[in-house]
């Protein structure tokens, strides 16, 4: 087989080496771009939706291990990305598809990774690697292929250990938009929402637009004045990467919104920011939740949802009681049934709530889509919205 033929099928002969910071190594073949990369090794349990995973800004600086053994079967298209680029730092798969087969595919996954310079590795025993990460926890990792493999393992290990850790990392500003933009409502406009981009996925404003919401997406550096300049009926804080303990500006910004009593909704990183705004701590999970099959219970209804997750940090809030906060009473609204991790918060005296998972769930599941309707209800029933309507009618 010629070199060009091998590259076309995603089975290049270039050897590759994966080195974990605790010294364990895995050998395989180069997949995607050839070279080297560093990040935090995490695993995703989703069997579908790899394109949405790759383009989720929350995966910035993470090397994603896919637990599903066959990846790339449906190729890549231009409709499914959640952002304008791939954000993962590296990609680890067991058996990549040699040839994609789907009527929507325009190119192979291997080609897309190469075009965007994403270094990956294939032929790895991802089951063994995942079990290792579950036992030892998420950790720093390096992938080396081509000339980067020439150095000895001890030298490569030293370089992995020099890479920055995820704990303490403030990353939202590296993935958020630099310029504000508007996603118009689909159909009749009913509400205006200011969405603070901490790493927002494209499907999120689309889900709001489907409900008649005009979404003004603002940079992570937005001020309270920027938010209220758009005269919002509600404020949204998005998902995003990094350690919430390092995110001082979003916390201060959210507290400014809570003080004004504007309906507020946060997801993922936004949930952690709400937790910190209310005075709760956050902590790093041993290996996090990543995938599209996580069971969560909505404690307000008792309903169990299968949900999409991507988080390595969580809020430290009591599950057994209502808490007093600077903004009134708060309670844990959602909880993960696998490990009891806080998956949602809500204020009882102000119109604000959040969830740790992804109700927009591009690639599914869609059990939690009702949360956008809950946000609409908060805005509709808020006295500020009625006052705004009367002001607009007088104008």
Which amino acids are annotated catalytic? 268, 358, 360
Residue 103 preceded by cis peptide, ω within 30: no
Calpha distance 160→381 (Å, rounded)? 52
Q: Among residues 225, 234, 246, 113, which one has the least CA distance to residue 173?
A: 246
Calpha distance 9→112 (Å, rounded)? 13
How deeply is 179 buried, as exposed, middle or buried, from its count of CB atoms within 10 A (0-12, 13-18, 19+)?
A: exposed
Q: Among residues 41, 82, 33, 46, which one has the least CA distance to residue 62?
A: 41
> CB–CB of 166/40 below 8 Å?
yes
Q: Among residues 212, 207, 208, 214, which one has the least CA distance to residue 188?
A: 212
Calpha distance 363→275 (Å, rounded)? 28
In the Cβ-directed half-sphere of 125, how many Cα atoms lie within 13 Å? 8
> CB–CB of 191/233 below 8 Å?
yes
> CB–CB of 244/282 below 8 Å?
yes
Please give the C-alpha separations between residue 261 and each of 353, 378, 379, in angstroms, as whole numbers: 12, 11, 11
CB atoms within 10 A of CB 147: 11
First vs last C-alpha separation in the chain: 72
Secondary structure (DSSP) of 119-183? EEEES--HHHHHHHHHHH-SEEEEEEEGGGGGS-HHHHHHHHHHSPPSTT---HHHHS-SS-EEE
Helices first, then strands: H and E counts in the chain: 12, 20
Q: Among residues 65, 382, 101, which one has the least CA distance to residue 234?
A: 382
Secondary structure (DSSP) of 11-67? ----EEEEEETTS-EEEEEEEEB-SEEEEEEEEE--SS-HHHHHT-GGGBTEEEEES
């Amino acid at each position: 087989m010629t070199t060009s033929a091998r590259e076309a099928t995603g089975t290049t002969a270039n050897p590759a080496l994966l080195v974990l910071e605790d010294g364990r190594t895995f050998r395989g073949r180069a997949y995607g771009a050839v070279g080297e990369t560093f990040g935090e090794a995490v695993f995703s349990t989703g069997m579908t939706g790899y394109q949405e995973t790759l383009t989720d800004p929350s995966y910035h600086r993470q090397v994603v291990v896919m637990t599903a053994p066959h990846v790339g079967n449906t190729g890549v298209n231009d409709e499914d990305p959640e952002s304008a680029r791939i954000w993962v730092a590296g990609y680890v798969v067991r058996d990549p598809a040699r040839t994609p087969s789907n009527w929507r595919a325009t190119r192979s996954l291997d080609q897309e990774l190469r075009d965007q310079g994403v270094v990956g590795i294939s032929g790895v025993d991802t089951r063994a690697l995942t079990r290792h990460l579950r036992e030892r926890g998420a950790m720093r990792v390096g992938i080396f292929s081509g000339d980067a493999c020439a150095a000895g393992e001890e030298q490569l290990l030293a370089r992995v250990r020099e890479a920055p850790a995820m704990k303490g990392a403030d990353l939202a500003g590296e993935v958020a938009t630099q310029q504000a933009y508007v996603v118009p409502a689909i159909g009749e406009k009913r509400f205006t929402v200011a969405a603070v981009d901490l790493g927002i996925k494209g499907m999120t404003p689309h889900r709001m637009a489907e409900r008649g919401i005009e979404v003004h997406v603002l940079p992570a550096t937005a001020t309270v004045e920027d938010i209220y300049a758009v005269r919002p009926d509600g404020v949204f804080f998005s998902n995003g990467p990094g350690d919430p303990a390092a995110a001082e500006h979003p916390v201060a910004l959210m507290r400014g919104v809570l003080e004004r009593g504007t309906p507020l909704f946060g997801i993922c990183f936004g949930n952690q920011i709400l937790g910190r705004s209310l005075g709760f701590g956050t902590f790093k999970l041993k290996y996090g939740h990543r995938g599209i099959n996580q069971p969560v219970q909505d404690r307000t209804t008792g309903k169990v949802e299968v949900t999409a997750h991507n988080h390595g940090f969580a809020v430290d809030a009591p599950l057994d009681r209502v808490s007093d906060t600077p903004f009134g009473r708060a309670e844990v609204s959602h909880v993960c049934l696998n490990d009891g991790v806080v998956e949602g918060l809500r204020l009882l005296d102000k119109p604000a709530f959040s969830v740790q998972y992804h109700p927009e769930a591009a690639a599914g599941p869609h059990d939690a889509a009702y949360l956008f309707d809950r946000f609409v209800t908060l805005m509709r029933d808020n006295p500020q919205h009625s006052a705004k309507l009367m002001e607009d009618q007088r104008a």
